[in-house]
Every structure is written in structure tokens, then in C-alpha cells.
Amino acid sequence: MPDRIYNFSPGPATLPYEVLVQAAKDIVNFNNKGIGLIEMSHRSKEFIQVVDDCEALLRELLAIPQNYKVLFLQGGASTQFAMVPMNLLGSGKTACYLNTGTWANKAIKEAKLFGTVDVAYTSELTNFDRVPGPADYTISAEAEYLYFVSNNTIFGTQYQNMPETEKIVVCDMSSDILSRAIDVSRFGLIFAGAQKNMGPAGCTVVIIREDLLDRCPDTIPTMFRYKTHADKGSMFNTPPCFAIYTIGLVLKWLKKIGGLAAIEKTNRDKAELLYQAIDKSDFYRGHARKDSRSLMNVTFNLPTPELETKFVREATAVSLDGLKGHRSVGGCRASIYNAFPYEGVEKLVGFMEEFEKKNG
Ligand SMILES: *Cc1c(COP(=O)(O)O)cnc(C)c1O
């Protein structure tokens, strides 16, 4: 392996090195067929096999029940903010949203274009430092579905226990899908942009319960209907070929290292190491409330913005890259997704101790 920096980028994010090597080979010559992966017809036998393998692995790893469809779509997770209400809401109807930060907020804005939105919870007053527990909100009786964001990438919060209700549950899992085991049968629809925890940008995975495919009003354009893509196995039009293929490689890697049980343990170990470093110091201050802390994005502040700038600059100089926090929170953020190695967190913790000694 050449010298790789430790990449704490929130997304697109670090990928397993072996995945990058394999992808680089296949872009030029796929399976020694004399044709590059990204110049092959999406209707070729070879590429259909790529999609089928990717879907089968995703179904296996997440234990997706038979009555769910898996779709590989384009337009990013942000397109789902509109597609969800387009397909599941309808004018005059109400949906319940939990506002835990930027991504939830953007989804609320889009849903309002298609129906009534009941924002049953918001942590805006405390700058989105927490996610709600079951006692913190009420889902109104007329709500068609409950919408929430399982991991809040920007603020570094995550549900330890996912909200439960008899209603249809819709979840934006863009930044923690495949990081831990989930019970898919509790959800009506899960979506996730690939570029945080699954692969490169360009593909959004949608997992949708089959009975929801028929709820879409007739007025919705073809490309924005889940049913269009479900009926054609994500091949209604040209799918994001390279992204799907690379997701497949990441899933193979994930299976090889032990699947969700193994990766969850590693994710917990990595996050614990970093949170311990934050908790034992008065110099570093975690943004998220302890019961809402994310295993994927660790957000923290230093005593002053000047020190934060210096911290990020000096960390970058020793190959700890991408630690600058999002502009809406400031401070620092270490994104430690599935493919981020434990040693990188150890190195960061060592750097943090040194930095505090010199500047504290
Ligand atoms: C990154 C992110 C998005 C936006 O994804 P795009 O693919 O850029 O549209 C949405 N939700 C969450 C939770 C994210 O982390």
C-alpha cells in the first residue's frame, strides 16, 4: 500500500484500499474481458450480473425481507427529500417529521411542497446537540408516516434506539447505513446516499416495502415514482453503473471482515477511543449530548476558533485530513465511517494529547 493519509472527510469519504485497487483495474479492463467497466452497456450480461450481485449482498448483509425492493437511483439523497413526499404524501395529507438538523430540515422544506408537515420535535434551540427519545414527541393520529434521520452527519448525533411506531417509518440513513445491524421490517422506506458509508457518490440506495409502491398519485412524473424503478429492477434508464459496481465491492469487503456485527464492534471501539479522549480533557468539548453521540461523526470544539483553525492546520500537516467541522457548527469533526481504520483514530488521539500539551 502506498502512503495513504487518514481521511476524516464526511463524504465522499474514505473507502477500503483494496476496493480502490480493484476498481482501478476494472475501469480499464473489467474481468479481463477487454472492455472497461464504465464503457460497458448497462444491459450487458456482465453488468446485469454486477447489479444482481450488489443487490444480493445488500439483502444478505442487512437481512432485507423478501417483500422489500432495493433500488439504485440517482439524484443524491437530496432528491429523496422530495421523492418521499411525492410518493407517500399527497395534498391535504400530513406527515410527521423529527427535526434533528440540516438534513432533516431540508427534507421538511421539500415535504411542505406536497402536503402538511407536522414537525413533532426539534432540537434547534440547543443547536441540534441531541436526538429525541420516545417521550419527547407525539405522532399525530392523521400522520401518514414518520420521517427521521438516523445519523446527523453535521451535528454528530445518532439515535441509539430508532423511533418506533405503527405508522410507516421513513429513514434517511445516508451516514450510518451498514454501520450496525437494523431490523428492516420496522421501516417502510430507508434511503441512503452511497458516498458516506457504501461507496462513491452518484448512487442513492432506496429500500422500500412493496405495498408502498402503489401509493403514488398519478400526477407524479415517471422518473420520480418508486414504482417505475422497482418494476424495471433499477434499469428503467441508465443506472449509476460505476457507483453500483463499487458499492458491490465495498459490500464484498464488509462481508469478508465479518458483516454488520463485526463492523459495529469496530465502530464502537473507534468512537469510544475518541470520545474518551474528549471526555478526559477540559480543552476539547464534545458538541453532541452524551446520550445522542454518533459513532460515525464525532464533533468537538476547542477553547477558541483560532485554536480550532490551528488544530486543523497542524493535523493536516501530519496526514490527519478533513477534520474541519461543518460551517453550521464550526469546530472540528472526525468522520470515522466503516472503512476508516482504528489506527487512524489512535493517531488522532495521540495528536490531540500533544496539541493540548502545547496549547492548553
Ligand atoms: C450527505 C447527506 C445527505 C445529502 O446527500 P446528497 O447525496 O449530497 O444529496 C442527506 N442526508 C444525510 C444524513 C447526509 O449525511
Phi, psi of 68 (to 5 degrees): -120, 145
Q: Is there a domain that residue 3 lies in?
A: no
Query: Among 72, 98, 108, 153, which residue has the most ligand 1 atoms within 8 Å of its CB, making it the best to mutate?
Result: 153
Q: Of 241, 256, 271, which one is at a domain's C-terminal end?
A: 256
DSSP letter string over 311-333? HHHHHHHTTEE--BPPTTT-SEE
Number of domains in the chain: 2
Q: Do 242 and 279 fall into the same domain? A: no
142: in domain: yes
Segment 257-264 shows an average pLDDT of: 98
- State the DSSP H helix or E strand holding residue 6, giving kind and residue range, or none if neither: strand 6-7
Please report whether residue 12 resides in a domain: no
What span, in angstroms and rounded, lies between the C-alpha atoms of 150 and 278? 23
Q: What is the CATH number of the domain that holds 45?
A: 3.40.640.10
Helix (H, G, I), strand (E, B) or coil at 74: coil
| Chain centroid to CA 261 | 18
In terms of domains, do 90 and 134 share one?
Answer: yes
pLDDT tens for each residue of 7-20:
999 999 999 999 99
Same-domain status, 205 and 322 = no
The mean per-residue pLDDT over the stretch 154-175 comes to 97
On average, the pLDDT of the chain sits at: 97
Q: Are 247 and 277 contained in the same domain?
A: no
Helix (DSSP H) and strand (DSSP E) numbers for the chain: 9, 14
Looking at the structure, tell me whether residues 119 and 40 fall in a common domain.
yes
pLDDT digits (tens, 9 = 90+) for 81-139: 999 999 999 888 999 999 999 999 999 999 999 999 999 999 999 999 999 999 999 99
Please state whether 318 falls in left (phi above 0), alpha (psi between -120 and 50) or beta. alpha
The per-residue pLDDT for 346 is 98
22 C-beta closer than 6 A to ligand 1? no
Is the residue at 109 inside a domain?
yes
On whether both 172 and 317 belong to a single domain, the answer is no
Instruction: Name the grid cell of 105.
Output: 430540515
Task: Read off the pLDDT of each residue in 27-44 and give the average, rounded to a whole number.
Answer: 96
Q: Are residues 250 and 267 in the same domain?
A: no
Q: Which residues are catalytic?
A: 103, 172, 196
d(C-alpha 176, C-alpha 153), whole Å = 9
- Cα of 107 from ligand 1 centre, angstroms: 10
Q: Is the CB of 10 under 6 A from ligand 1?
A: no
Secondary structure in 3-state letters for 166-232: CCEEEEECCCCCCCCCCCHHHCCEEEEECCCCCCCCCCEEEEEEHHHHHHCCCCCCHHHCHHHHHHC
Mutate to test the pocket of ligand 1, among 103, 177, 205, 206 (most ligand atoms within 8 A of CB): 103
Using pLDDT thresholds of 50, 70 and 90, give the confidence band for residue 250.
very high
In CATH, what number is assigned to the domain containing residue 320? 3.90.1150.10
- 162/265 same-domain check: no
Cβ proximity of 191 and 172 under 8 Å: yes
Q: What is the pLDDT of residues 304-332, one digit of tens each?
A: 999 999 999 999 999 999 999 998 889 99
Ligand 1 neighbourhood includes 100 CB (under 6 angstroms): no
94 lines ligand 1 (CB under 6 A): no
When pLDDT is averaged across residues 210-239 and rounded to a whole number, the result is 96
- Atom 2 (ligand 1): residue with closest C-alpha? 174
Distance of CA 11 from the midpoint of ligand 1 (Å): 9
Q: Ligand 1: does its nearest atom lie under 6 Å from the Cβ of 74? A: no
The CA R_g of the chain, rounded to the nearest whole Å, is: 21
Domain end point (choices 213, 240, 256) = 256
| Phi, psi torsion values for 98, nearest 5 degrees | -105, 120
270 backbone φψ class: left, alpha, beta (φ>0; ψ -120 to 50): alpha
Q: Are residues 262 and 192 in the same domain?
A: no
In terms of phi and psi (left: phi > 0; alpha: psi -120 to 50; beta: otherwise), the region of 204 is beta
C-beta of 229 in contact with ligand 1 (< 6 A): no
Report the distance separating Cα 112 and Cα 120, nearest Å. Answer: 14
Q: Which residue has the cell 454488520?
A: 260
Residue 293 is classified by DSSP as B
Residue 1 lies in a domain: no
Note whether 239 and 269 are same-domain residues: no
User: In sequence order, what are the beta bridge partners of 71?
Assistant: 206
C-beta of 149 in contact with ligand 1 (< 6 A): yes
Share of the chain above pLDDT 70, in %: 99
Model confidence pLDDT, tens digit, residues 327-341: 888 999 999 999 999
Decide if 146 is inside a domain.
yes
Q: How far is CA 313 from CA 3, 322, 336, 342, in A?
A: 19, 10, 19, 22
Q: Are residues 42 and 121 in the same domain?
A: yes
- Rounded-to-integer distance, Cα 300 and Cα 358, Å: 18
The full length of the chain comes to 360
Bridge partner list, 207: 70, 190
Whether 171 contacts 187, CB under 8 Å = yes
List the domain range (segments joined by +) for residue 309.
258-359
- Do residue 251 and residue 292 come from a single domain? no
Residue 6 is assigned to a structural domain of this protein: no
Q: Is pLDDT above 70 for 1?
A: no
- CA dist 298 and 223 (Å) reads 36
Which residue has a Cα nearest atom 14 of ligand 1?
174
Q: Which grid coordinates are listed for 325? A: 467541522
What pLDDT, in 10s, does the model give residues 38-93?
999 999 999 999 999 999 999 999 999 999 999 999 999 999 999 999 999 988 89
